[in-house]
Amino acid sequence: MNPTLIFLDTEFSDFINTELISIGLVSQDDRHFYAELPVDAARCNDFVRGVVLPQLGKDSDAQCTLEKLNVRLRTWLEQFKSDEPLIVCFDYSGDWALFSYALFDEVPSWIRGANVNGYLNALRNEIFWMDSKLERHHALNDAMALKASFVLGRAERADWLSPTLLFHPRT
């Protein structure tokens, strides 16, 4: 099995009343997807208002409705469809839930999710941030950091793609 890996991160309003704010994905070969949804700052926690929201709105092409996000995300993902599953890697299960939400809880059957938190290298992550000079807590930047800190050597172990580690779409 030689699946394509996509790295995912999201930004959201709060851990309690979670609303998707932005979503970023990056492929192994550096193809990117980024989108922002309209956000009500009053529904966001202080951290999100102070750190996440100031980074939004810099790319007018990224702003869209949930309906347009669904279409744009599906269109972008289609380019990766093959006989092998597409593995969407994340480090927080809430990211997978918000990814599913963006697809109206209809994740295509050829896509799987994998929590790769146990396969990340903290040093590689910090080196990414120092070298890139990008801001943290921006969905696309964080997805790129996730990709950079993913340790392929550990991921090549047999248990990495075991069925128990993968999130499957609802059938």
Q: How far apart are CA 139 and CA 109, in angstroms?
A: 24
Task: Tell me the average pLDDT across 13-34.
Answer: 96
Q: What's the predicted TM-score (pTM) here?
A: 0.90
The total domain count for the chain is 1
Query: Which residues span the domain enclosing 116?
Result: 4-167
Q: How far apart are CA 2 and CA 5, in angstroms?
A: 9
Write down the pLDDT at residue 171: 43
Q: How far apart are CA 101 and CA 87, in angstroms?
A: 17
* Residue 61: CATH number of its domain: 3.30.420.10
State the greatest distance between any 2 C-alpha atoms of the chain, in Å, as a whole number: 46
Nearest to 21 by CA among 117, 108, 47, 125: 47
Q: How far apart are CA 26 and CA 52, in angstroms?
A: 19
pLDDT digits (tens, 9 = 90+) for 102-140: 999 999 999 999 999 988 889 999 999 999 999 999 999
Lowest-confidence range among 12-21, 30-39, 70-79, 152-161? 152-161
CA-based R_g, the chain, Å = 16
